[in-house]
């Protein structure tokens, strides 16, 4: 690659370096076995870290079954998405 020619990754890096955010709320929640969360339309970005469990996650009407095992999985949701979830086991 010619050093004088910009690389696509360079422009992405510059854009990412300008991203800023503010954390408004942090929570730690433990859910009981077989819980269900009613649908919720998000007003802001949400980041969820799920450590373990088996259940269903519905995003904008599309339902997925998931089994999360330690160390867990990270989910990022954007404003306007309608989400609901529930566990299908006691673990």
Q: Residue 21: what pLDDT?
A: 78
Contact in structure between 78 and 45 (CB atoms under 8 Å) = yes
Q: In degrees rounded to 5, what are phi and psi of residue 50?
A: -100, 120
Q: Residue 6: what pLDDT?
A: 52
Closest-CA residue to 89 (of 63, 59, 61, 69): 69
Element (H, E) at 19: none
Q: Residue 31: what pLDDT?
A: 87
Whether 7 shows a pLDDT value over 60: the answer reads no
């Amino acid at each position: 690659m010619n050093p004088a020619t910009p690389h696509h990754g360079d422009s992405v890096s510059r854009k990412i370096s300008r991203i800023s955010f503010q954390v408004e709320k942090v929570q730690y929640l433990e859910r009981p076995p077989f819980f269900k969360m009613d649908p919720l339309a998000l007003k802001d970005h949400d980041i969820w870290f799920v450590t373990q469990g088996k259940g269903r996650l519905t995003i904008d009407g599309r339902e997925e079954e998931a089994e999360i095992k330690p160390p867990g999985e990270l989910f990022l949701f954007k404003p306007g998405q309608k989400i609901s979830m529930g566990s299908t086991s006691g673990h």
